[in-house]
Amino acid sequence: MAGDDAGKINQIRGLEDLKCVAGARQAEASVAFDLSQRRKQAAAGVPAEEQGAGVAAQIALARRESPNRGSRLLGLARALTGMPRTFAAFRSGLLNEWRVTLIVKDTICLTPENRAGVDEELAADTGALDGIGDKAIIAAVRAAAYRRDPASVAKRAARAVTERTVSLRPAPDTMTYLTALLPVAQGVAAFAALSREADTARSAGDDRSRGQVMADTLVERATGIPGGVTGVEIQLVMTDRALLQADGEPARLPGYGTIPAASARNLALSHAASHELSLWVRRLYTAPGAGELVAMDSTARLFPPNLKRFLQVRDETCRTPYCDAPIRHHDHILGWAGGGKTTAGNGQGLCEACNHAKEAPGWNARPVPGPAHTVATTTPTGHTYHSTAPPLPGAPLAGGAQSCSSQKRRLTLARATP
Ligand SMILES: [Zn+2]
């Protein structure tokens, strides 16, 4: 009936408004939490420049978001306190969290006075931005911001340069996207150099396509080696059944993710057969049925290379819940100073930001005994969050039936310069 459907639409709109109310309340609570934590840290003698450490990380855990997103959400909340009309529009449902983020993003480089001026001009609480699209909102915000502070455009450009980076993400069919974010001049120059190389090769009779020559040249120049792969270690984690008995269990390529068993076999066996490459085979055993790599110990204070490699393979990415940033630190879960040992059980891989957050006052972590490697992290407010190492190829799923009685073996194949 039409009446029922009208009711459904009313319900959808009502829930949308509720999400905005909830988002605005979360922002208010985040700002209040930040202030209160900073006050407590100041009272505990934390130097001014270190106050606020770990605050965004706690908000992220509570919101089931990555630490990176947690700090952006806290930044958004703090900026909104200086933009009362935008904040009011958020509370009333006229602007949702995403659209509020668009407004804050383009005003963050302004002084508080100029940001307040933009807020006043946009008058979002009057419904002035209601019904217009995201692009139109961005255009309105930028126009208002540039009018007040034309130099901010230059500042933004200077800041953008500092964000240059290279990243890797999976593409279909066991391919990968290697992406570089570069200042325009460098990007154009790099592309032109690859194009030139392709033209030269093809005019000399090379039968590869232009794209193929460009891709091969990029790899060769970045790795410094013709053919591009020797000398750089590629680790592959797969079960012995997948390698030797054509089992279908997918493998894991650290730094990339899951790949089909057949691709892993090709990678492992083709390079094993090739003469100029030597193949390292490391056998890592698991406790029967447990699906965990067996621990290695060291008496040293720092993690030795083998143990680091082990943590890298076991943890894959930063161990903080919801964070999947690359591992940058091999961390003692229980600190060395507090009697924590240099073992795989007491070790975890963390990204730079999470390692820093963990060092803030009031944070505690401990390994939790169990079938899969688990870390319990307790934040200054007394909330505890658990992180379990990702399953390895062939490992039983956590909580699933563990009927396998034979010892599971895994191979880590690593190629290195002979
Ligand atoms: Zn992290």
Same domain, 358 and 381: yes
- For ligand 1, the distance from its centroid to the CA atom of residue 142, given in whole angstroms, is 32
- For ligand 1, the distance from its centroid to the CA atom of residue 157, given in whole angstroms, is 28
Rounded-to-10 torsion of CA 31, 33, 36, 41:
-110
Does some domain include residue 68? yes
Same domain, 216 and 278: no
- For ligand 1, the distance from its centroid to the CA atom of residue 375, given in whole angstroms, is 14
- For ligand 1, the distance from its centroid to the CA atom of residue 319, given in whole angstroms, is 6
Q: pLDDT tens track of the chain, all 418 residues?
A: 567 999 999 999 999 999 999 999 999 999 999 999 999 999 999 999 999 999 999 999 999 999 999 999 999 999 999 999 999 999 999 999 999 999 999 898 889 999 999 999 999 999 999 999 999 999 999 999 988 888 876 777 788 888 899 988 888 887 889 999 998 889 999 999 999 999 999 999 999 999 999 999 998 898 777 766 554 455 667 666 666 677 777 777 766 777 787 877 777 666 544 433 333 334 444 444 444 454 556 667 788 887 888 888 888 889 999 998 889 999 999 988 888 888 888 999 999 989 988 888 889 999 998 888 999 999 999 999 999 988 776 655 444 333 332 233 334 443 333 3
Does some domain include residue 103? yes
Same domain, 121 and 169: no
Provide the pLDDT for residue 264. 75
Provide the pLDDT for residue 326. 87
- For ligand 1, the distance from its centroid to the CA atom of residue 326, given in whole angstroms, is 8
Same domain, 301 and 366: yes
3-state secondary structure string, the chain?
CHHHHHHHHHHHHHHHHHHHHHHHHHHHHHHHHHHHHHHHHHHCCCCHHHCCCCHHHHHHHHCCCCHHHHHHHHHHHHHHCCCHHHHHHHHHCCCCHHHHHHHHHCCCCCCHHHHHHHHHHHCHHHCCCCCCCHHHHHHHHHHHHHHHCCHHHHHHHHHHHHCCEEEEEEECCCEEEEEEECCHHHHHHHHHHHHHHHHHHHHCCCCCCHHHHHHHHHHHHHHCCCCCCCCCCCEEEEEHHHHHCCCCCCEEECCCEEECHHHHHHHHHHHHHCCCCEEEEEEEEECCCCCCECCCEECCCCCCHHHHHHHHHHHCCCCCCCCCCCCCEEEECCCCCCCCCEECCCEEEECHHHHHHHCCCCCEEEEECCCCCEEEEECCCCCEEEEECCCCCCCCCCCCCCCCCCCCEEEEEEEECC
Same domain, 6 and 140: yes
- For ligand 1, the distance from its centroid to the CA atom of residue 321, given in whole angstroms, is 8
- For ligand 1, the distance from its centroid to the CA atom of residue 68, given in whole angstroms, is 8
Does some domain include residue 317? yes
Q: Which of 146, 162, 178 is the last residue of a domain?
A: 162
Same domain, 147 and 191: no
Domain that holds residue 318: 297-388
- For ligand 1, the distance from its centroid to the CA atom of residue 359, given in whole angstroms, is 13
Same domain, 50 and 137: yes
Does some domain include residue 399? no
Does some domain include residue 310? yes
Same domain, 185 and 281: no
- For ligand 1, the distance from its centroid to the CA atom of residue 320, given in whole angstroms, is 5
Q: Which of 162, 183, 212 is the last residue of a domain?
A: 162
Same domain, 151 and 23: yes
* 36-66: burial string, b at 16+ Cβ within 10 Å, e else: ebbeebeeeebeeeebbbbbbbbbbbbeebb
Ion ligand 1: protein residues whose beta carbon lies under 5 Å: 318, 320, 323, 325, 351, 354
- For ligand 1, the distance from its centroid to the CA atom of residue 330, given in whole angstroms, is 12
Same domain, 192 and 146: no
- For ligand 1, the distance from its centroid to the CA atom of residue 297, given in whole angstroms, is 24
- For ligand 1, the distance from its centroid to the CA atom of residue 235, given in whole angstroms, is 22
- For ligand 1, the distance from its centroid to the CA atom of residue 251, given in whole angstroms, is 24
Residue 10 has which token pair? 């009313």
- For ligand 1, the distance from its centroid to the CA atom of residue 400, given in whole angstroms, is 27
Provide the pLDDT for residue 239. 67
- For ligand 1, the distance from its centroid to the CA atom of residue 385, given in whole angstroms, is 14
Same domain, 283 and 308: no
- Beta pairing partners, 165: 181
- For ligand 1, the distance from its centroid to the CA atom of residue 379, given in whole angstroms, is 15
Does some domain include residue 401? no
Same domain, 28 and 151: yes
Does some domain include residue 396? no
Does some domain include residue 53? yes
Q: Please give the tally of structural domains in the chain.
A: 4
Provide the pLDDT for residue 410. 38
Residue for token pair 């490391």: 282
- For ligand 1, the distance from its centroid to the CA atom of residue 364, given in whole angstroms, is 16
- For ligand 1, the distance from its centroid to the CA atom of residue 332, given in whole angstroms, is 15
Residue 13 has which token pair? 């709109």
